[in-house]
């Protein structure tokens, strides 16, 4: 009888040990997952707080700064060809007042061309237009990778040498991209650091800046971008 009791106690102890062995990894796994979730939440909270205060700073600063002829003299260089990329999400509601303000700023700073890349079907076509002394073109997804493929195909059919000059010339002739390559590209696509299929051939030597939304663009933020651009050293492979 005593032997049976001893065997039963041993079996109970062994079951308890097995349960304990199964429970500990589950607890450790739960704690690790909880710490991971908390760390990610803290990271995003800090990131959103940082974005909020940066936008607030530029918003307040825009009330007491101006973009005038003196502004250009304070910059070591200004992009002659500017392009903006309004991403898929940002294209759902395009603020034409902001676009108009951007045109005025470009005119004041003697920027020659402005290219607007967008996904909005209702956006007005501004090709071959000169607004306030600035040449403006609007392009869409049709000017992206497929235009490059089509250009090379046509050049091959004509049995011409495939050179960068030939490709650039064909893209201009077909109206895919009529201006010189942009010196500066501003991409508005939220937290995604994506070019949103912006025509790749034209941005080989382009400085690229990513911002949240074109609707948040103001004088202070635009000037900050231009100052960053003026400080960039472009070696062009040297």
- CA 55 from chain centre, in angstroms, equals 16
Average pLDDT over residues 4-32: 59
Q: Which residue from 136, 135, 150 is spatially nearest to 199, judged by alpha carbons?
A: 150
For 62-132, where are the alpha helices, taking DSSP H only? 69-73, 96-108
% pLDDT > 70, the chain: 78
The answer, yes or no, to whether residue 6 has pLDDT greater than 50, is no
* CA neighbor of 190 nearest in space, from 43, 46, 47: 47
Q: pLDDT, tens digit, for every residue of 190-231?
A: 777 888 888 888 888 899 999 988 988 988 899 999 999 988
Strand (E) or helix (H) holding 168: helix 164-173
Q: Which helix (H) or strand (E) holds 115?
A: strand 113-117
Question: Hey, which residues does 22 pair with through a beta bridge?
Answer: none
Which residue has 């973009």 as its token pair?
67
Tokens matching residue 117: 């890349």
The answer to which of 39-53, 79-93, 160-174 has the lowest mean pLDDT is 39-53
Q: What is the pLDDT of residue 2?
A: 44
CATH classification code of 69-231: 3.40.1180.10
| pLDDT mean over 113-124 | 82
Question: Of the candidates 232, 236, 234, 235, which has an alpha carbon nearest to the alpha carbon of residue 75?
Answer: 232
Q: How confident is the model over 20-33, as pLDDT tens digits?
A: 556 667 777 877 88
Both tokens assigned to 89: 């999400």
Task: Report pLDDT for 79.
Answer: 92
* Mean pLDDT, residues 157-167 taken together: 82
User: 8-17, 32-41, 109-118, 139-148 — which one is most confidently predicted on average?
Assistant: 109-118
pLDDT at res. 9: 45
Question: Between 14 and 2, where is the model more confident?
Answer: 14
Which H/E stretch holds residue 139? strand 134-139
Strands 113-117 and 81-86: parallel
Cα–Cα distance between 170 and 176 in angstroms, integer? 9
Any idea where the domains of the chain sit in the sequence? Answer: 1-61, 69-231
Instruction: Reply yes or no on whether the pLDDT at 178 is more than 50.
Output: yes
Residue 236: the pLDDT is 64
- The Cα angle at residue 7 between residues 3 and 9, in degrees rounded to 5: 115
Looking at residue 212, its pLDDT comes to 87
């Amino acid at each position: 009888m005593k032997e049976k009791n001893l065997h039963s106690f041993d079996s109970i102890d062994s079951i308890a040990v097995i349960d304990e062995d199964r429970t500990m990894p589950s607890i450790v796994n739960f704690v690790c997952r909880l710490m991971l979730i908390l760390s990610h939440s803290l990271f995003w909270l800090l990131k959103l707080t940082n974005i909020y205060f940066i936008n607030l700073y530029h918003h307040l600063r825009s009330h007491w700064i101006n973009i005038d002829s003196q502004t250009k003299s304070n910059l070591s260089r200004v992009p002659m060809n500017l392009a903006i990329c309004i991403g898929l999400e940002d294209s759902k509601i395009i603020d034409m007042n902001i676009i108009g303000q951007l045109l005025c700023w470009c005119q004041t700073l003697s920027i020659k061309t402005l290219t607007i890349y967008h996904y909005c079907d209702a956006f007005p076509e501004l090709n071959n237009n000169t607004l306030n002394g600035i040449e403006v073109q609007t392009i869409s997804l049709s000017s992206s990778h497929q235009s490059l493929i089509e250009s090379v195909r046509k050049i091959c059919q004509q049995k011409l040498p495939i050179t960068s000059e030939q490709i650039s010339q064909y893209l201009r002739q077909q109206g895919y991209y009529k201006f010189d390559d942009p010196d500066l590209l501003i991409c508005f696509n939220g937290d995604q650091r994506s070019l949103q299929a912006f025509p790749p051939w034209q941005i080989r030597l382009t400085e690229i800046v990513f911002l949240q939304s074109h609707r948040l663009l103001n004088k202070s933020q635009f000037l900050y971008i231009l100052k960053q651009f003026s400080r960039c050293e472009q070696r062009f492979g040297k």
